Each structure stands twice: as structure tokens, then as C-alpha cells.
Amino acid sequence: MVQRLHEIGYFNYTLTPSCRVGVFFVWKGSRTKLRLITDARCSNQKFLEAPGVSLMTSEGMGRIELEIEENLAGDGKVLDGVAIHLGLSDVKDCFHRLRVPFWLSKFFCWAAVPAKVVGLAGAELEGKVLKPLDAVYPCPGSLCQGFSWSLYFAQRANEEICRRCSILGRSIISNDRGRPIVLRLGGSGEVANYYVYVDNLGVLHQDLSLVEKAMSELQEAFNSRGLLLHTTDISEGATLALGCIVEGEKFRSRISPVRLWKIYKAISGLLHRGRCSGQVLEILVGHLTFVGLMWRSSLSILHTVYKFIHRHYNEVAKIWSSVAEELRCFQGVLFLLVQDWSRQWNTLVSSSDASLTGYGVCHAEWDRKQVADTGRVLERSRFKRSSGHSARESALHAAGFSFQEGKWEKVVGSIDSLRAAGWELQQDVPEVPSAGLRRELWQPKMWGTWKFHENILVLEARTVLLSLKRIALTTFGHDLRQLLLCDNMSVVLSFERCRSKNFKLLRIIREFSAFCMARNIHVAIRWVPSEFNIADEPSRLHESEKSSLLVDLLDDFWPGSKSVSSPLTHVTEESAAAF
């Protein structure tokens, strides 16, 4: 094997290896070829943890939007004859074509071989003339699949090549943590939407000629650098991309039927057997998570499965009834994981807040563009993993401790805890525009007092659910994109991720998710400071403590914005009692 790889120029050679590795093989997807994987666990320990990368997965495919100009929105035939074109290609043997410097390749040396085996007898290597039986160490001259930094280098290299193309250079690359792909119908401009998933490239646009031109540029750009692209495929019908089906004619995304049926049968088989180890269940949950990202609401189903995995990871045990119930429930919604691109943003924005005594929900009318620009930002994009941690550090950080001045100390404050746990705040995340939080734009719609005492997180979550139900249970509350505002970051992130360790909170998220799936509503929930949340006032009607709102000091405004006829100052204890 060494001789065969030597003949194609795969190896460099050295007499002084920095580290040694092993190799093994796995089947490629077609099961007709083998993939060479480097066992670089020892080498990886000599490097810092690689920075994270944001990739396009089924979640990004599910967030695609078809934006229709307002003057065309009322036309029932506006989508007739319109199709979205998807261009796909991938880099052939991407990792093996990305060359690395000699000093780096010495960290991945294979077992030594005699110099004569690779034709180096009599050659000079590192100042020494080699004899036939002198040991030389082959080391890959390209990125190794198994090196912790390989994915980062490959992703960044391919992204940079795409940015240098004239068409794609004007676009923003799409991924799960960034803004969604937005296809504008009736708009102008030649900005194509594209994504890079390591060696897989995709371009979307309604203009076929633009997609063809972009793919032609990519072909030339990559091939000229020795990164050969496979044949480009451009289609408008059902196309398989990143494990998802993209239907450009029907304006929707869904999971591949082959993948869905495999998961469906796997769940059935596991439940029929009735026993498994946590490790086996973990593999299945990994597949469920991938398909669930198409519609994140489905991930709220999973809860007890994680406890089973942790408790019985290395032993076979009877599947708990609660685990079986969650798996059956997920199996039941598998074929509902379809995302409609043509849902438009609702111009009605809802803000909610809760105190220990009461709750309040307020509504405002925003311009559709302002709603869309605000709702397309993910709150979790505020946080980015900054560095790696050992198991000990991760456990202590999870408990709210920070290593300061040579010892572990308890950290007070959620932001400090995040930083201590290796997360950093991104400063360039667009905030909810203060012009839309002005008092005169908002009107109270629901307020009241709680009948039971609960944790404030649970109360805030209940109010968010009320905020959604007031819209979803109306005649127009379906097939739309809805923006909700809340001033509790923990609740916002839990609803956005559709997960929570707090089971009381998770039950509310499940009910919230059920409304979203039943009414085909995509919800974007954004955080606003408590001082700017107008719903704070109606939530404190029965408290002696006055609201600390600062909305009256806001001086930003949107030209042409209209104030409501019933301002918040009309909310009194008498009207609350009547409600």
C-alpha cells in the first residue's frame, strides 16, 4: 500500500518524525470504495482544539424562504410557472488535494519502511545519503481525515475560493447559525444564494442563467487550483442535497424518503426487541436529531432517551416505557417534517412578559420587511464556542464554576457563567430595532394574574405560549412566519432550540411545538431587554413594585409608522379585573 501511495505522490519522507499514527478504512456511501482514515489521536493532542465551523444541514434547508413582494402577495397565481433552480457540485478527493507544509506532515508519520521500498536508496534526505535498508518515515503531504483541524482547513479554503467568484462574492454564505437563504420573487438583483458543506457546493436562485454562470465560475476557480469538481448538476425538480430533498417547483424542503424509512424501521425494530444499550440508542438519537433539525419542534419530543443513554451506555437494558413513548411519538411525526418556503412573515408582532404575580401580552403592527429582518436572526448566534475543555473542566464549568487565580470558584451571573464555560459573546448580532419598541406602536391584548406560584422561567414560558396561542387560534393564524419577543434569554434560547433540561419548561415547549406543527407556523423568538419590553407593564398591574420601562426615552422611529388608538396607559386595574 505504501508503494502504491508513493507512486501517486501522496507521501513526503522524513528521518525525524514528530509523531506517529495508524490508519484504517471505512466504506464510502456507495460501499464500492474504501475511505482511508488516519488514527491521529496522539497527534491531535499536540495541537490546540480546532475552531468551530458553521455548516449547512437539514435545519438550514428547512429555513429557506421565498419572499414575495407585497404588491404580488394577493395574487393567487403569482407562483405559477416559477421554479427555483439548484446547482450542485463537489470537490473530488477534497482532503487529499489540499497540500500541507512539510513541518505539519511530520506529525502524521506512518511506520518506517526501508528506503529501497520507495526508491530512495542513494538519495539524500535531511542531509543524509540513504542506504537501501535505512528506515524512512512516510508522512502524508495532504490533509489527513482524522486530523482535528482538517475539516476547518477544508471548509475555510473552499469558502474562500467561492468568495473570490464574481457572482458569489456579493452574497453571504448560508449556514445553520446565520441568516436563512431568502429567494425573492418579484425583486431585482443578481445575488445568488449558496452554501459550502466542506467539499459540497450548492447555489440557489430563480434565474437559471445566473445559477449556470455561478456554477461555471466555480468550476473554473476550483479546477485552476487543482481542486477538481465533479460534473455540475442543475435542476428545479426534487433534488437530493445534504440528505434532504429540495423541491424547487413546489417550494419546499423535506428529508429524503430513503432516510426516513430507514429511521422508521430502525425505531420499529428497536421497540420490537425491547432491549438495547445506551450506545446503540445514542446512534439512533443521532439520526433522529439530523432529521429533526428539518423542523426543530420535533426535537422537543426527546428527553428521557438522554437519561437512558447516560445510565446504560455500556450495558444492555430493557427500554423504559417513557423512552418507548418518546420514540413512538417521534416515529409518528417523521413524515410531517416538511418545510414550506412560501410562508410569509406576519406583520403582527407579539411581545410577552411575566412577573411572579401576573402576565401580559402586547401586539404591534410592523412593516413586513422590518419583521423579516428581525426574525431572521437567531439568538443563539450571539454565543460562540471559544476554546476546548478537558472532561474535568467541562464538568466544573457546567456546575457554574470558573478557574480563577489558581482555584475553582463559583461564578455569579449567567453571562459570566457562559464565558467561564468557554463561550464568548458575538458583538455584531443585530438587535431588535428600538424604533419598533416605542410605546405608541403597542397595544395590550392579554393580562391577568397567576393562580399558582411557579419558577419565573416556567411563568415566562407560559406567557410565550399564550402569546402564540392568541395568534394560532385565529382564522388567519396558519401557514405563516411569526415573530415573538421575550425578555428572558434562557427562555428564548430554550424555545429556539426546542430543548430544555427543566421538564416543566420542556412540557410547555412541547405544547408550543404542537401548535407550530399543527398550524404550519415558523416562529422566530427574539430577546429584548426588560427595560424595552412593553409587556412588562400589564404583567405588573397587581404588584406594588412599579415597572422600570425606558421605552418613553427611545428616540428612534420608523418613517410612516402609525401609533395605535389605545395606548398602554389605558391599562388599569379595573380593566384587568374586567378582562
- pLDDT for 441-484, tens place per residue? 999 999 999 988 999 999 999 999 999 999 999 999 999 999 99
**Range with the poorest average pLDDT among 23-27, 77-81, 83-87, 319-323:** 77-81
What pLDDT score does 575 carry?
Answer: 41
* For residue 344, pLDDT beyond 60: yes
Taken in order 493, 497, 498, 502, is the CA torsion positive or negative? negative
Backbone torsions φ then ψ of 298, nearest 5 degrees: -65, -25
Strand boundaries in 370-456, DSSP class E: 383-385, 401-404, 407-410, 423-425, 442-449
384 versus 377: the higher-pLDDT residue is 377
pLDDT band of residue 15 (cuts 50, 70, 90) is very high
pLDDT band of residue 384 (cuts 50, 70, 90) is confident
End-to-end CA distance of the chain: 80
Mean pLDDT of 336-360: 93
Strand partners, 27: 34
C-beta of residue 398 within 8 angstroms of C-beta of residue 510: no
C-beta of residue 447 within 8 angstroms of C-beta of residue 571: yes
Backbone torsions φ then ψ of 134, nearest 5 degrees: -65, 140
Taking each helix axis from N to C end, the angle separating 257-273 and 321-333, rounded to the nearest 10 degrees, works out to 160
pLDDT tens per residue across span 505-557: 999 999 999 999 999 999 999 999 988 999 988 888 877 777 678 888 877 77
The Cα–Cα gap between 108 and 50 comes to 17
C-beta of residue 431 within 8 angstroms of C-beta of residue 531: no
Strand partners, 12: 139
Q: Which three-class secondary structure state does DSSP give residue 181?
A: coil
* For residue 187, pLDDT beyond 60: no
What pLDDT score does 68 carry?
Answer: 83
pLDDT tens per residue across span 196-244: 999 999 999 888 899 999 999 999 999 999 999 988 899 888 999 998 9
Please tell me the number of Cα atoms within 13 Å of 478 on its side-chain side.
8
What pLDDT score does 570 carry?
Answer: 46
* For residue 397, pLDDT beyond 80: no
Of the chain, the percentage scoring pLDDT greater than 90 comes to 63
* For residue 406, pLDDT beyond 60: no
